[in-house]
Structure 1
Amino acid sequence: MFGLHYNLERHSIGLAIAVMVIASIGGLVEIAPLFTIDETVEEDPDMRVYTPLELAGRNIYISEGCYACHSQMVRTLRDEVERYGPYSLAVESQYDHPMLWGSKRTGPDLARVGGKYSDDWHVAHLEDPRDVVPQSVMPSYAWLSRNKLDMQDLDKHLAALQKVGVPYTEEMIENAPEDAYGQANPDSERAEGVAERYGEETNIRSFDGDPGRVTQMDALVAYLQILGRLTDAAEDQPELDDSALDEEE
């Protein structure tokens, strides 16, 4: 085997051809399954889309590089399921563009963080992580509470996602900026429209504790509070038995 490799290294053309063959095999293994993705990814008719405010929070999450330290994928391992909750399903990420599964865990996985902590906890944690987790190495994001959220282009973002298969309606797109404001201001007239378009169970409240003003903190906390709660599919899945978990380990 090593003799073949040494001989290839002496012949640049042969080595180039061998590299192309191996790369083609690897590419085929990764690409071929995509042709059957519609048949392999399960569907959930009760899956709801992100609201404009949650989507804005997701954009902030991505732009600040949060995905570099936090994954959003609970694996089928005993310790992961016991620590984070039900293992992740593909259907839960069907509206994520891009998906944020990840593998890096400087911080904990966030796939099931929605509803686990209060809004006040998230705000305090983002403003100064060591106030609530003394051993945290996460940087502070205090400016998010000071920065007003730019909502004017949210309709364009929803329209772009509609083109790649996210089932936003024309009404949702048209009212995106108003719905972002309404979700963070429960006493405003616009809040009612959010519940009508996205469901009565939508989180509608002042996430940063400062009603009347929509900040980037509102958006990011709204996003964190919906993670793992867009569908109940993971809660309804059959539990892995001990032997299956042990085999994964």
Structure 2
Amino acid sequence: MSLWERHKIFETNSLVLFFGALVVIAIGGIVEIVPLFYLKNTIETVDGVRPYTPLELAGRNIYVREGCYNCHSQMVRSLRDEVERYGHYSLAAESMYDRPFQWGSKRTGPDLARVGGKYSDTWHLDHLNAPSSVVPSTVMPAYPWLAETELDIRYIGEDLIVQQTLGVPYTDEMIETARRDAVTQGTLDALDSEGLLERYPNANIRDFTGTVAATGRLTEADALIAYLQSLGTAIDFNLYDDSANIR
């Protein structure tokens, strides 16, 4: 029987073609899926990555609520022009505690994966209140109400519980101290800063908008700026050799 005659069986019989395709797809699926059951984790562990502080998490919720992801991605691709502009390309580990992740696929504004520490708190506050005052060519709308709206942290502990259920390693102590930690991080007179730093190493602790001392209350702008200032700061890439340690 010639090769054509063997192939003709599939060409002229739809059932044989169907089951033949099913077998091929099944084999391909098994080859792709089975190895995953033997992997404990598909994300490599990288030193420095930690869960968000309660204040940063509150800021992240505001970031999502306001739809910032529609114009700003949080993923630096491994392309030369992106790395030169934004810094080291993004690692999966950096988003391991994001629910959901903020990678994005469209940029009207710049990528924010490494925006932490790039600008001052005052710059961020001015950018939220009147974007064109610091970036004249921007098309970003203003968000002045964020600096006027008191931050609601009544349920931040419950938020941490939800994140814990989803796999974020928040401890019972972190959940119990969530409200206090949020206030501590956003004020200059930090009563429990040492405890906060034990729970969340390298967290920024300060009055992000410069108004908390006068008003005695945190605003949504404080939380959002705390979140933005944390982005991309978890890993010290100077400690790694790109060719060996990080891929």
Task: Tell me which interval the TM-score lies in, with the shorter structure as reference length.
Answer: 0.7 to 0.9
Partner Cα distance (1:230, 1:56) in 2:
18
Distance 2:99 2:31 in 1: 23
Q: Partner amino acid for 1:142?
A: P
> Quick check: 1:218 aligned with 2:219?
no
Aligned to 1:207: 208
Identity across the alignment (%): 58
Distance (Å, rounded) in 2 between the aligned partners of 1:51 and 1:205: 13
Q: Which has the larger radius of gyration?
A: 2
Q: Within the alignment, does 1:182 sit opposite 2:184 as a pair?
A: yes
TM-score (norm 2): 0.80
- Asked if the contact 1:115–1:225 (Cα under 8 Å) also holds between the matched residues in 2, the reply is yes
> Aligned-residue CA RMSD in angstroms?
2.9
1:137 aligns with 2:139: yes
- Residue equivalent to 1:14: none
Task: Give the Cα separation in 1 of the matches to 2:36 and 2:140.
Answer: 36
How far apart, in 2, do the equivalents of 1:239 and 1:85 lie? 13
In structure 2, distance between residues paired with 1:60 and 1:29: 42
Partner of 2:153: 151
**Does the CA contact (< 8 Å) of 1:73 and 1:111 recur in 2?**
yes
Cα distance, 1:42 vs. partner? 0.6
Out of 93, 96, 107, the residue aligned to residue 95 of structure 2 is 93
Residue 230 to residue 37, structure 1, CA distance change in 2 (3 Å):
farther
Q: Answer whether contact 1:182 1:192 (CA < 8 A) is retained.
A: no
1:117 counterpart residue number: 119
- When residues 64 and 76 of structure 1 are mapped into structure 2, their CA distance, relative to the original with a 3 A threshold, is same
Report the counterpart of residue 170 of structure 2 in structure 1: 168
Give the TM-score normalised by structure 1: 0.79
- Name the structure 2 match of 1:10: none
Counterparts of 1:40 and 1:202 in 2: how far apart (Å)? Answer: 27
Distance of aligned partners of 1:74 and 1:31 in 2 relative to their CA distance in 1, 3 Å threshold: farther
Aligned to 1:79: 81
Distance in structure 2 (CA, Å) of the matches to 1:139 and 1:128: 8
Quote the Cα distance in structure 2 between the aligned partners of 1:70 and 1:30.
33
Change (3 A) 1:36 1:237: farther
Query: Does 1:238 pair with 2:241?
Result: yes
Segments of structure 1 that go 5 or more residues without pairing to the other structure are 1-19, 241-249
Counterpart in the other structure of 1:229 = 233
| Paired residue type of 2:170 | Y
Cα deviation, 1:61-81, whole Å, max 9, x if unaligned, reads 000000010000001111000
Q: 1:39-82: CA deviations, max 9, x gaps?
A: 43211243221100000000000000000100000011110000
Q: Which of 44, 47, 50 pairs up with 1:48?
A: 50
Residues 180-220 of structure 1 deviation map (CA, whole Å, 9 limit, x = unaligned) = 11111121424443223223x21000001112220000000
